[in-house]
Amino acid sequence: MTTTTIRLEAELKLRLTAAAKRLGKSPHALILDSIAKMVEQVEMDDDFHRVADERWAELLATGETIAWDDARAYLQARASGKRPAVPAPHKTTR
């Protein structure tokens, strides 16, 4: 394990200590948890953007998409426990 030093304003350190105490953690543990959650969020955001970019590139390459109304109806049916047919894609009119 490596060591990293951070400098906190006095007020933030007091808030950190109070928050950690309320959670039953040490300030160190709260800092580690917070950093881990932020890193995980950044990684998830990166993955989301990668998938979105791939899907956008596919749409541009094929011109095929599913209308929002069809997609919404499909998702609502799935959410209510039904097993509807997947909507058929159609060419965009760009």
Can you tell me the distance from the alpha carbon of 15 to that of 27, in angstroms, rounded to the nearest whole number?
A: 10
Q: Please indicate, yes or no, if residue 22 is contained in any of the structural domains.
A: no
Can you tell me the distance from the alpha carbon of 23 to that of 33, in angstroms, rounded to the nearest whole number?
A: 12
What's residue 94's pLDDT? Answer: 61
Q: Are 33 and 25 in contact (CB under 8 A)?
A: yes
Beta-carbon contacts of 94 under 8 Å, excluding residues fewer than 6 positions away, are 63
Q: Please indicate, yes or no, if residue 72 is contained in any of the structural domains.
A: yes
Q: Please indicate, yes or no, if residue 43 is contained in any of the structural domains.
A: no
Q: Please indicate, yes or no, if residue 16 is contained in any of the structural domains.
A: no
- The one-digit pLDDT tens for each residue of the chain (94 residues) are 899 999 999 999 999 999 999 999 999 999 999 999 999 999 999 999 999 999 999 999 999 999 999 999 999 999 999 999 999 999 987 6
Tracing tokens 């993955």 back to the chain, one arrives at 47
53 CB burial (10 A radius; 0-12, 13-18, 19+): exposed
Q: Please indicate, yes or no, if residue 71 is contained in any of the structural domains.
A: yes
For the entire predicted model, the pTM comes to: 0.71
What's residue 22's pLDDT? Answer: 98
Q: Please indicate, yes or no, if residue 10 is contained in any of the structural domains.
A: no
Q: Please indicate, yes or no, if residue 93 is contained in any of the structural domains.
A: yes
What's residue 92's pLDDT? Answer: 84
Number of structural domains found in the chain: 1
Q: Which domain holds residue 92?
A: 65-94
